A and B are shown apart, each in its own frame.
Chain A
Amino acid sequence: MLRRILGMIRKEFAQILRDRALVFILIWAFTAAIYTVGRGHAMEVTNVPTVVYDLSRSPASREFLSHLQPPYFKFVAYLDREEEIATYLDSGKASIAVVIPPDFQRMVSGQGQAHVQVITDGAVAMPATVAVAYIAAISSRYSIAVLEGRAAAAGIRLSSLPGIEERVRVKFNPNMLSSWFSSLLELMNMLTMVSLLLTAADLVREKEHGTLDQLLVSPARPFEIFLAKIIPTILVVLGLSGFSFLFVLKPVFHVPIRGSMLLFYSVAALYVFAMTSMGIAIAVVARNLSQAMMIMLLILQPMIFLSGAWNPPEAMSPWMRWFSLISPLRYFIDFGYGVILKGSGLSTVAWDIAGIVILGSALFAFSLWWFQRSLSR
């Protein structure tokens, strides 16, 4: 039995290594893809293309505009006509237009409320929202500065008035580097996706080529074939994630590894084991590779959505929050952040591990049962 399983595992490795394109994609997924996400998927918004229609053309308007600075804003043009605003926004050459009215200087110097109009391109919702928030902050700071100037002229020190000032200290990620989160999250997503994909694609291909039948008429039992299918994937995926830690997460993003790698890897192995089992179940249902891909998309999307990767479970609607309990990725992400970024020990992440173990064994039992059943029609 051992010889048969080892023989099949050796065969799997030979097949994976022979497929140059696959090897390239795998390495890409665990290095370049994670790098791009860590770099590109930052929450800070920079270089927002901005146009200005300054009707005031006064020292006050110039001073206000000087606060809209790179790297956050990039001035594309100063406009002379109002119609041009629409042209720039429509063509996408600008996402933000700032309009300063003719009476800006007069208002600021004491006649009343000064208005600034900000027009944004809602189609690029995320950067637009953030940019608007920046502008709001800038204008309130500017107002305070104006106020301070007036108060000083009237002989009042503004800071002597009552008020609240927040003092924030960020734990675990003092510089609030989003690349730590996003690169780690992407690694865990890749772990999920590749485990599913590699196993499912491999088994479907054997089904399509008829090689599965050849294995089945041999003395190899379905259980042995099952193991021989998932063990290579587990080894490959774990190996690649180590590669990713060594060559991307640590040296490039300086993600701190605060907890025990042994703990992380033991649980990751369990998790990947569960995912590969699910990959087998997908391959049992799918008749060909494209079907397997469709099914995988159907499973993967809600799983990632429910995992809290994009929005924390706490922000979900109550029934969705209950639903998120069946996404194994939820526990894994929680666990991964805990061990890697916070240095949590076994006792802190015990519930996450329990979740992975329970869901994992259910998946494994179901897939194995289903696989065996499909073979004895």
Chain B
Amino acid sequence: MALPKYTETRYRIWHYFYITICSCVFFFLIAPLFVIFPLSFNAEEFLSFSEGMKNLDPDAFSLRWYKDMIYGTKNPWGLAAKNSFIIAIFATLGSVILGTVAALGLSSRHMPYKGLIMATLISPMIVPLIISGVAIFFFMAKAGLAATHTGIVLAHIILGTPFVVITVTATLSGFDHSVTRAASSLGSDPVNTFMKITLPLILPGVISGGLFAFVTSFDEVVVVLFLAGLENTTIPIQMWTGLREQLSPTILAVATCLIILSTLILVTAELLRRRSERLRGINR
């Protein structure tokens, strides 16, 4: 953002002030994530930078907490990671299937009561999580699904579907329906048309909705806190307990792994978004 040569001094000052403010905000957004990296390699048991770390002494750094995360005694992280992945994968599958099918119906111009139904379908996103947590807990307790994987998966499907519904409806809004009509007129049955024509075209939207659903489930703690028993502990629950009780650097090692995972997800989501825009012919 170079300024033209004729800019008056006061606007020049204002411009630099504006750039400074923006830099500060960006720093505020991103810097907290980076404090975790160096501290997770701390050789000592403290959560602050030791003198050795400040002087970049190689002995002050170690992989101790990563080893503890993987091999530690009475290690909860292995089970938690396994549970988190199983729950998130099934919840994502459920959300994507239910959400995509519903979005197909919602995008039809024949859909009756569209506004009301849309509001119902995305309500889990609007209602504060704590209320969803209480309501879902009451249901699961009655259905005998509290403290089971099934119960948590169902709960996460509830929370994940709104994202799939929204992203897939958005993708379908730029969808040319004449291609499906062409397929039908050429003798394809509806299921075949969906699999061969519609799905490949809306796939980027479906996958990015699925990513949202995956992250929602993988990161969800409020509802799980109500539902989970000892057997169903997940990574967020384990972190929550750790942060409340004793802040050990092992948590930072886990956090570093999670940041790497979220970077991967971010890159995937971004690539998908661009591909989707290209496919839908939106060129910016």
The judgment on whether A and B are partners is no
Q: Which residues of B contact A (CB under 8 A)?
A: none
Q: Which residues of A contact B (CB under 8 A)?
A: none
